Amino acid sequence: MVNERKRLKKMKKKKRRRRILFWLFVPCLLFLISSAGYALFLMHKAESMINKSYEEIGNGNVKSLDPKKDNFSVLFIGIDDSKSRNFKSDTRSDALILATFNAKDKSVKMVSIPRDSYVYIPCEDKYDKITHAHAYGGTKCTVESIENLFDIHIDYYVKMNFYAFMDVVDALGGIEVEVPYDIKEKDSEDHHNAIVLKKGLQKLNGEEALALARTRKKDNDIERGKRQQQILKAILEKASEASSITKYDDVIEAVGDNMKTNFTFDQMKSLVHYVIGDKKLTIESLYLKGTDHNDGIYYYMLDEDSVQEIGETLQNHLQSSNESADDDSTSTDKNSDEEQ
């Protein structure tokens, strides 16, 4: 009898343990299923968005690259476009940032090109402000002008209008940026003094971040370019935070109709390499030097030595690990030949 009671007690304990394990396991399983489902949903949505946004440059100089292991360059183009400006096809570029990505180092180098920079525009065969290149010949003319300036091949471009920029910032829940001085600026629809910002570190929404990126009332194009890089860094850092994963759906939605790029979906997926893993992404900002010039029309005259130095820095950043990879490959080939 005593033995029977002990046996029944043991059986009850086992059943209780099984129930506890079951109720622990079920939420975990549901979480994994929902996470996998959410990831699959995001993948399909992102693929649809990238396919919709895909547009070749049309310069016939396309390399086959894998951003996960190959170094590459990207030109980010912010265009001066909104509903109040009627989405004109001859719109100018308002922000230009050239970035090089090094896969081995997980590093990015970026330089802003001031919109009033006086440069050679190949599609028009003349010198003019770089901002006019997009009005003359769209993405192709802008890319060729920057390639000519730095003597560097541009692999990819990402072009967004005001709305994509603002919506991405809002989808991420805002970004933290240092505001250098008190600002009163237009909003995205050109309402004067609609955005008011105070000096100091603060969290900005999309409209506020756009106002900070555009303003140059108290300084110049160079400082404006620095702020644009600062804002781009803040967006990249916020997007790479684990807490932002649940916001990716809104980010994809935000970019949707307001972006053009020649990244394919698979190439875009490979960029996740830069925000995951043990090695932290490092971003270095480079700055062009120059002087103001005004003979009735304002231009920013770039310093030739500065342009050459930055061009070489970007080229070296693109070549560094690619060359070592080639050397490793050659060494491996030699060793295998010797063994044979």
Segment 102-154, tens digit of pLDDT: 998 889 999 999 999 999 999 999 999 999 999 999 999 999 999 999 999 99
Name beta bridge partners: 290. Answer: 302
Q: What is the pLDDT of residue 237?
A: 80
Mean pLDDT over 250-272 rounds to 78
Residue of 196, 235, 188 whose CA lies nearest to 214:
188
Q: Which residue has the higher pLDDT, 282 or 59?
A: 282
Q: Which residue has the higher pLDDT, 62 or 169?
A: 169
Is 116:291 a contact under the CB 8 Å cutoff?
no
CA distances to 95, 256, 267, 272 from 52, in Å: 23, 8, 15, 20
| pLDDT greater than 70 at residue 5 | no
Confidence at 330, pLDDT banded by 50, 70, 90: very low
CB count within 10 Å of CB 218 equals 10
Confidence at 84, pLDDT banded by 50, 70, 90: low
Q: What is the pLDDT of residue 125?
A: 98
Residue of 267, 263, 265, 224 whose CA lies nearest to 78:
224
Q: What is the pLDDT of residue 59?
A: 62
DSSP state of 87: T
Q: What is the pLDDT of residue 302?
A: 96
- Average pLDDT in the chain: 79
Percent residues over pLDDT 70 in the chain: 70
Q: What is the pLDDT of residue 142?
A: 96
Residue length, the chain?
Answer: 340
Q: What is the pLDDT of residue 42?
A: 58
Confidence at 67, pLDDT banded by 50, 70, 90: confident
CATH of domain 54-334: 3.40.630.190
| pLDDT greater than 50 at residue 292 | yes
Confidence at 65, pLDDT banded by 50, 70, 90: confident
| pLDDT greater than 50 at residue 51 | yes
